[in-house]
Amino acid sequence: MLLQRPICKHCNKNHTAINYIRNGVTHYRSTCDECGRKKNKLKPRQPSWQKSGYKKKATCDLCGFHSKYPSQLTVFHIDGKLEHIELSNLRTICLNCVEIVKKTEVTWKRGDLIVD
Ligand SMILES: [Zn+2]
Ligand SMILES: [Zn+2]
């Protein structure tokens, strides 16, 4: 017997994508291939430190360097644990200071970068 293939819940247009087939029964996803792909693509990759509400500063916490572009500064987790996103664990560091930090501060670890 043939099961009716459902229509995508997202676009209400295409048939849903096949999820898997088990014991001759086809299981479908709730969305079509197209919407499934779009969803994956749109999924924002948010750095962990951004979830804490931390905003990368325009000046370096170490030397006071004032950046012209955000890419000149990077966020560090000073205890080296990327999952520790308390504001007290985060520092905005310029690329010059990154070099110094890498040599002097053993625990500091660069946080996830923002994808522009
Ligand atoms: Zn769809
Ligand atoms: Zn600096």
Q: DSSP per residue over 8-33, as a string?
A: PTTTSSSBPPEEEEETTEEEE-SS-H
Q: Give me the sheet containing 73-77, strands edge to edge.
A: 90-94, 73-77, 109-110
- Model confidence over 39-73: pLDDT tens digits? 766 666 788 899 999 999 999 999 999 999 999 99
Q: How far is the CA of 20 from the centre of ligand 1 (A)?
A: 18
- Ligand that lies nearest to the alpha carbon of residue 91, given by its number in the listed order: 2
The pTM of this model reads 0.60
- Ligand that lies nearest to the alpha carbon of residue 99, given by its number in the listed order: 2
- Model confidence over 83-103: pLDDT tens digits? 999 999 999 999 999 999 999
Q: How far is the CA of 42 from the centre of ligand 2 (A)?
A: 34
Whole-angstrom distance, CA of residue 9 vs CA of residue 12: 5
